[in-house]
Amino acid sequence: MIDLRSDTVTRPTAPMRRAMAEAPVGDDVFGEDPTINRLEEHVAALLGKEAAIYCPSGTMTNQIGIFVGTGRGDEVILHEGAHIFNYEAGAPALLSGVGMRTVPGEGGVVAPETLRAAVRPENVHFARPKLLCLENTHNVAGGRVFQLCDFAAVAAEARDLGLKVHLDGARLFNAAVATGTPAREWCEHADTVSVCSSKGLGAPVGSLLAGDEETIREARRARKAFGGGMRQAGIIAAASLYAFEHNVERLAEDHERAKGLADGLREAGYGVDEPETNIVLVEVGEAEAFLQDLAVEGVLATPWSGSRIRLCTHLDIGDAEVEGTIAAASRLLVSGEGVR
């Protein structure tokens, strides 16, 4: 099977497994796991922040970011397609007691004037807007890059309005590699930043939240309260460290293959958005029926909005898999299953 459902489906490679097996470990709740300490320092430096904390998932790092950036009854403002709003099980309400106010924006980008219009003044009737959450790259928009100038502009507006900024950077390194803009340049404009090692970077588990020392101290309390305190977790953190040290630059290969996939599918007759990173959105008509037929041809993908599917390139997808996918989709068009 060629599995393009997500960049989370990668299996750890032999050298990554070796790094895991050989990792020095200790009790991380006591701050004594040398591998986790190294990973947290490495990622804090990559993101240009004072400190970082290792957590099991990007959902947890996002939710801790919200917890430390808000108080009960406050309002979080975010794009209507945000992962935090759509795919995190209502956790901001569940864990932090905050409401979410969504705003529209082309390609996942929140414009300064849209933000300003959504932020209501101090008034006894209104929830207090406290935090703006931004996502880069934007998943629902198809891996679109939130360009640094747009990002800086809306973050400045947020600051002007008295809001803090959290960046959901599950795929921030895809944005960095695609543009040549170092990840830390986006992070300068955010108070807290979440990054994942289990997406395109190829680790089996692990995300980090970065920010200033005091914020990350609070995050450590929150992680314990949310049930995310781990013991000799250096054995899994070693995979994340390996991923950050070896698999960032190679994301460019995923982007190249996504473009190749898009070109091939377009030549075959499909309507395809031009990918900016590793996500390809394709018009197929009846998505669910199409995906069943595609699976019979040996290719897995994810249903997106009604008539579209999402294909995601990653570490386990090489040129042969790209060609195999184009061939499978072409066969479906010939047999009359695909459309447009």
Ligand X SMILES: *Cc1c(COP(=O)(O)O)cnc(C)c1O
**Is the Cβ of residue 119 or residue 176 nearer to ligand X in the bound state?**
176
The residue at minimum Cβ distance from ligand X is: 58
**Is the Cβ of residue 168 or residue 321 nearer to ligand X in the bound state?**
168
**What's the closest the beta carbon of residue 55 comes to ligand X, in angstroms?**
9
Q: How far is residue 290's CA from residue 40's CA, in Å, rounded to a whole number?
A: 43
Answer yes or no: are the C-beta atoms of 228 and 56 closer than 8 Å: yes
User: Burial of 197 by CB count in 10 Å (0-12 exposed, 13-18 middle, 19+ buried)?
Assistant: buried
**Is the Cβ of residue 192 or residue 330 nearer to ligand X in the bound state?**
192
**Is the Cβ of residue 154 or residue 193 nearer to ligand X in the bound state?**
193
**Is the Cβ of residue 91 or residue 317 nearer to ligand X in the bound state?**
91
Binding stretches for ligand X (CB under 6 A):
57-59, 62, 83, 135, 139, 168, 170, 196, 198-199, 207
Q: How far is residue 45's CA from residue 242's CA, in Å, rounded to a whole number?
A: 15
**What's the closest the beta carbon of residue 297 comes to ligand X, in angstroms?**
26
**What's the closest the beta carbon of residue 14 comes to ligand X, in angstroms?**
24
Q: How far is residue 340's CA from residue 268's CA, in Å, rounded to a whole number?
A: 10
**What's the closest the beta carbon of residue 20 comes to ligand X, in angstroms?**
18
**What's the closest the beta carbon of residue 223 comes to ligand X, in angstroms?**
14
**Is the Cβ of residue 85 or residue 242 nearer to ligand X in the bound state?**
85
**What's the closest the beta carbon of residue 82 comes to ligand X, in angstroms?**
8
Among candidates 146, 326, 169, 179, which has minimal Cα distance to 252? Answer: 179
Q: How many residues does the chain have?
A: 340
Tokens of 337: 């299953």
**What's the closest the beta carbon of residue 132 comes to ligand X, in angstroms?**
15
Among candidates 168, 322, 338, which has minimal Cα distance to 259? Answer: 322
Q: Which residue has the tokens 């394709």?
A: 282
Helices (H), the chain: 14-22, 34-47, 58-69, 83-86, 91, 112-118, 148-160, 172-179, 183-187, 213-225, 234-246, 251-268, 287-296, 319-334
CA 332 to chain centre: 31
**What's the closest the beta carbon of residue 308 comes to ligand X, in angstroms?**
17
**Is the Cβ of residue 57 or residue 307 nearer to ligand X in the bound state?**
57
Q: Nearest-5° angle of CA 84, CA 35, CA 50?
A: 55
Answer yes or no: are the C-beta atoms of 47 and 193 closer than 8 Å: yes
**Is the Cβ of residue 35 or residue 207 nearer to ligand X in the bound state?**
207
Residues 6+ apart with CB under 8 A from 195: 43, 47, 58, 61, 169, 170, 172, 173, 183, 207, 208, 210
